[in-house]
Structure formats: structure tokens, C-alpha cells
Structure 1
């Protein structure tokens, strides 16, 4: 539930901050970076705790690289940051492929692939305790600045005219969302579509006001991933990786949203 809530509120916050309904929590490369960190840790037979720590660290590194790249390039700051995130994500995806190529096909490779598909089967209470602190910090900060995300979603010029420092506020949102996403991915692996689809569903229910949208995203995201995980554990005799089922559910819903024309976005 913490993982689902973290991915959902991060997606909703990013969509408002970047003024783009197609943005997801991994837009700045955090998921690919975390996946690369976990792949390295698995390749070198690190402990479960070290795998999570390495995934978390490289998730943060990926976003730092994206942000640094965006500051060096000219042009629309939001567009440059998003494009930079795509480039960094592609780089780390290529590095993950290199790790898989080097991994032992009988032992390490299956473990790496299974982790990348996303699963909560190996998570225990100690893992949960590791992410409770970062999750509460990120949730609290984003909920407190929900009204400022409303202002950011109106555009930089409007935000500045209302006295909001757009650069610092956007950086704060990125930091909180990265912290939440990296924490979630470090214990669950890469779970796609949750942070993209759930905020849209919440927006259809409560509207675009982030003071209401962010709490709704937390509730819907937690409930959605809990239900999906139940199905993954009980549908067949072996547990289905979460990433597979969220993609199967998320893709048709996303197509439906495209046909609806983002109703409820504004």
C-alpha cells in the first residue's frame, strides 16, 4: 500500500508540476537508475538490504544527472528536463542490458529479470520499516504544498505573478517525488503504469485541485496496488510479477483516457 500510494502521489505531483498529463514518476529516470543499481547489487551477490540501498542510491543519482543536464542546456526548462530524463533513462536501460548480458544465465540473470518485473513476494517487515520514514516525509511535504502545485500547473508566468518561486518549488517537488519513487522501487522493483493511470482516475473523481487530488491519489494508489498484489498471489499457482499485471490493466485504461481527451485535467 505504501508503494502504491508513493507512486500515485508522485505521478499526480509531476503531472501538475510539469503541466503534462502524460508524465509518470519515472520520467526523470529514477526507475531505470534504481533498476541498474539493483542489477549491479544482484550481479555481485549483495545482501537483500544492500540491493535495496543500492537501488535507492542509483535512483537518486539518475535524477541528479537529469537535473544537472537540464541546467546546462538552453530552452524551455520543463521540456529540457523531461527530455533529459528520457535520455538518462535510456542510458541506464542500456546499462541494465549490459549487466544482464554479463550475468550468469543460470542464477543471476533470472533473479535480475524477476526483480525488474516488480514483485513484493520477498518484502518483510524490515523492508517496510526502511521506507516508512522517507515515505512519511515525502507524503507530508507534498500534501502541505498541494496549493502551490496548483499554481505551478498554471504555468511559470502565472506562478511568478502570484509570488511563487517556480525554480525552488519545482526542485522541492522533484526531490519529494524522487525520494518517494526511489524508496518504493528499492523494495518492489519497477512497477509501471500506477503513477500514470491512478492520478487520472483520481482527477476524474475529485477534479484537478491538488489539495484534494493528492490525498485521493494516495488512497486510490494504495488500494489499487493492494488489489493487484492479491490477484498476482492468488490467480495462479505461482506468483505473477506485479509489473506484468499493472501493465495489462494500465494500458487499456490509458487508451481509454486518450479517447476521453483528458477530461478533468483543467
Structure 2
């Protein structure tokens, strides 16, 4: 029996390790401009060898120059962004579910998406510059969570229930502000841009965006992975955690800060994408059980693969690109309903 369990574990690890690589390569040749798999791999290899002047082997460029542009400037940044955003939202949702001891919690529970959405809408309204839109989205996402935390501090101890209620209040306020920006926006130019951004898309992501947001998301993900064993203790209850010597207030602050930075950073480059941080942790829990030492890394892998698959569908299914927020809801809602039907939403 022990040998069977060990084989199953190694099989799961192998699948989880290999799936992101396979999906990455598969996504390279998907799109309106067809590139066969062999050529896509050649383009990647040539780009790597060309970047190393002393590399002994040179791969001849037998393909049109436009393919280099499509692969390196459009598809690779978009693929990396999809995997980065998906993994970030998934690990944030898993960490919040452990912190709040609630399987229905998502990364947006503290109002970060509403704040970031208002910031982006305001940026589109006053400027239209992508840098301004992303900067205001990130800033107001952080402002929303800070406001939530300060509002919850009226109880001094900041119990999780009050924190959730404060997040609902702040989220409702910023949703009203989003509606106000839509109301005053130009209905022919600004309003469609605001609506499309709020529905989520990775079409405008470039290498420069990844250089800026990548370290923030990856750094916070590493912190959450390093403290994931403490989330196990927090998920049991505050009293038990304190009895084991855990500073619950400080740990909650670290988790909230890291998850907020991840979510705000993800939202500022992708728009509002729901359901990823809610559904993926439950799928991870079904695979590896309730241990957060395993749930968080598995959520990272599944989240990256899930959003990459959704983005591939979004850019290839129809002639006009489908917003990611629509697809994640269309896919996520039935999956979550399935989990509810078979009682797989919970901690068992």
C-alpha cells in the first residue's frame, strides 16, 4: 500500500511539473498567424543562441522575420503574463482561504479588485496612457485594502469577520466610483475602453510590463510559500495558533500584504479576472488534501496552467478576442457548482 501511495505521489508530481512546460510550448504556435511547432521551437532556440555571442552553434533564420516578432514580442510575454497572473491569483486565494478559514473566500475579498478597477477607470478617463492606467490601478488597489484594514481596526483586534465585512463596504464604495466614471465617460471612446478593461485581457502585455510586475508577484509568492506551514496553524483557529506560539496578528498582516500586492499587481496588467483564486485552491485541495504546505505550491501550478488555457481559448476561439473575465466565469461557475454538488467544497 505504501508503494502504491508513493507511486501515485511521484506520478502527480511529474504531471504537475511537466504540464506547465507542455502548455507553454503548445501555446507558442496557437493564434491567428499559424506557426508550426517545429518552427516555434527553432525560433526560441535561435533567440537564446543569438543572445549569447560566444555560443558555439548558430541556428540559421529560415523563417520570415515577422515570426520572430510574433513569438518574442507578442506570444511569449502574453504566455508568461497568463501563467504569472494565474499562479498569483491562485496562491492568493489559497492563502486567504486558510487565513479566513472560509472555503468561499477569493483574493478580491478585501476590495482590491474594486479599488484597482476604479483606478484604471480613472486613468482611462483622464489620460488613456497605459502607464497611467496601470499605475493608478495598482495604487487604488492598495488604497482599497488599506482602507479595509483601517475600517476593521475599530475593533482593535481586527477579527476576520469584521475584516471581511469592511472589505464588502470598501468594495461597494469603489464599485459606485466605477459606475460614476462610466456615467461621466465619453460613450464613444472612453466608456468602451473602461468596460473592456474591467472584463480582463492580456492583449496589451509586453516584456516591459513583465520586468516591472514580475519581481513583485514572484517575490510575494515566495514569501507565502515560505510561511505556508503557518497557514496550516492559522486555519485551525486563533486560539490554537497562539497556544503554539504563533503571532496571529503579524502573520495575518504578512499574508494580507503579500496577497494584496500580488492581486493588485495582477489586476493592473490584466484587468479584473474572477474565479481563479476561488476555484483553483479547491481543485488543489482535491488533489493533495487539506495540507497548506502542499496546497499552495500545487495552486501555483494549476493556476498558471488554468489561466494559460483560458487565454489560449480567448484569443483563438473567435475572430474577436473574448475578455478573460467572461471565460473564467463561464468555466469557473459550473466547476464550482460541480464541487458543491459532490460536497467537495470545504476542508475535509
TM over 0.5: yes
The whole-number CA distance in structure 1 between the counterparts of 2:345 and 2:284 is 12
Residue matched to 1:37? 119
State the TM-score, normalizing by the size of structure 1: 0.98
The whole-number CA distance in structure 1 between the counterparts of 2:152 and 2:343 is 30
Residue matched to 2:331? 249
State the TM-score, normalizing by the size of structure 2: 0.75
Where 1:24 maps in the other structure, the secondary structure is: coil
- What is the Cα deviation at residue 73 of structure 1? 3.6
Aligned residues: 266
Corresponding residue to 1:125 among 207, 210, 216: 207
The whole-number CA distance in structure 2 between the counterparts of 1:214 and 1:21 is 14
The whole-number CA distance in structure 2 between the counterparts of 1:48 and 1:176 is 24
- What is the Cα deviation at residue 261 of structure 1? 2.4
The structure with higher relative contact order (CA 8 Å, sep 6+) is 1
The whole-number CA distance in structure 2 between the counterparts of 1:211 and 1:183 is 24
Does the 8 Å contact 1:21/1:262 carry over to 2?
A: no
Where 1:132 maps in the other structure, the secondary structure is: helix
Residue matched to 1:220? 302
Residue matched to 1:10? 92
The whole-number CA distance in structure 2 between the counterparts of 1:209 and 1:56 is 32
The answer to whether the aligner puts 1:159 opposite 2:241 as a matched pair is: yes
- Cα-to-partner distance string for 1:9-66 (whole Å, 9 max, x where unaligned): 0000000000000000000000000000000000012421121111001000000000
Q: Which of the two has higher C-alpha Rg? A: 2
The answer to whether the aligner puts 1:108 opposite 2:174 as a matched pair is: no
- Cα-to-partner distance string for 1:54-93 (whole Å, 9 max, x where unaligned): 1001000000000001111478711000011011111100
The whole-number CA distance in structure 2 between the counterparts of 1:185 and 1:263 is 26
Residue matched to 1:139? 221
How large is the RMSD of aligned CA atoms in angstroms? 1.2
- Cα-to-partner distance string for 1:189-220 (whole Å, 9 max, x where unaligned): 00000000011001100111111110000000
Where 2:250 maps in the other structure, the secondary structure is: helix
Does the 8 Å contact 1:207/1:264 carry over to 2?
A: no
Structure 2 gaps of 5+ residues are 1-82
